[in-house]
Amino acid sequence: MDTALVRQWYSTHQRDLPWRAEGISAWQILTSEVMLQQTPVARVIPAWQAWCERWPDAHSLSKASLGEVLSQWNRLGYPRRAKNMHQTAQIVAKDYGGELPRDVEALETLPGIGTYTARAIACFAYGVPVPVVDTNVKRVVARVEDGDQAAGHWSVGFGLDRVDQVSATGSATDYCQTQRGLMELGALVCTARSPKCGQCPLQHSCRWKAEGYPEDPSVKPRVQARYEGSDRQVRGIILGWLRDNPESLERDTLESLWPQATQRMRAVESLVRDGLIQRDSRADGEERFSLSWQQPGRGE
């Protein structure tokens, strides 16, 4: 693969995203990466800007209550991401002096940071030449190099090795710029459906195109789980009420939020189990539920 062409294309066609601006910290890049999991870019931009204005670093976020964090997260979805960010902020503030570690292995020990996110921080924030492999990157490399439609059969280890082989030319700066370019190319041009091959800088060397775009029978259209009526919807309704109402959620109000008792309590129990809401048992035996508005104590 001619990675110089990828870097040249990226320098001209990259999107103007706020977390790519000069002076953006590693912590703020992490915030964007976490928010972008499962959430479209257009929704993330204003949420990221508001979040970083309120909590620009790990120290400031570590001092917030979980209730404040979940309220600011609002309706980005999958709120465990916010809880993980809160926990990570407390660890980074306490153990790393407020600065995210540069080492991939150390990053992977932090809550909610997996293989992809750890390498994205190391590469994009610190310039460490490590492969950053998401579905976009896999798709571009598989099509151009192997003639495969989507690389669905790649294991994590194989994907890291394969992308590293393609990228390992030039300086560390070139390596990291190649990761950015491959990711952007997959997001904008070499898309899963209706790729814009005429706009691709690699069209003349793409094996998948040369072989007539063979379809991979193992690639099936992704079926989005129905949200309406799902436990996710019920969880979202309950969290939404608690974000807007700092007082405890009483049984009568809880019942008014969702009519089906079994599903309602299943959602409540899962929120308690995930540590997103807390159960308050009263002297009269009645249970209430709330977000935690308690500020973290020293050392937490």
Q: What positions carry a catalytic annotation?
A: 33
Calpha distance 85→32 (Å, rounded) = 11
In a 10 Å sphere around its CB, with 0-12 CB exposed, 13-18 middle and 19+ buried, how is residue 44 labelled?
buried
The one-letter amino acid code at 41 reads V
Q: Using an 8 Å Cβ cutoff, are 66 and 86 in contact?
A: yes
For every residue of 71-113, DSSP letters joined together read HHHTTSS-THHHHHHHHHHHHHHHHSTTS--S-HHHHTTSTT-
Q: What is the DSSP string of 155-210?
A: -HHHHHHHHHHHH-SS-HHHHHHHHHHHHHHHHHTS-SSS--GGG-TTGGG-HHHH
Beta-carbon contacts of residue 288 (< 8 Å; ≥ 6 apart): 248, 249, 250, 251, 279, 280, 282
In the block, residue with structure tokens 């991939």: 104
In what helix (H) or strand (E) does residue 154 lie, and over which residues does it extend?
none
Report angle CA 66, 266, 76 to the nearest 5 degrees: 40
Which residue's entry shows tokens 């974000």? 243
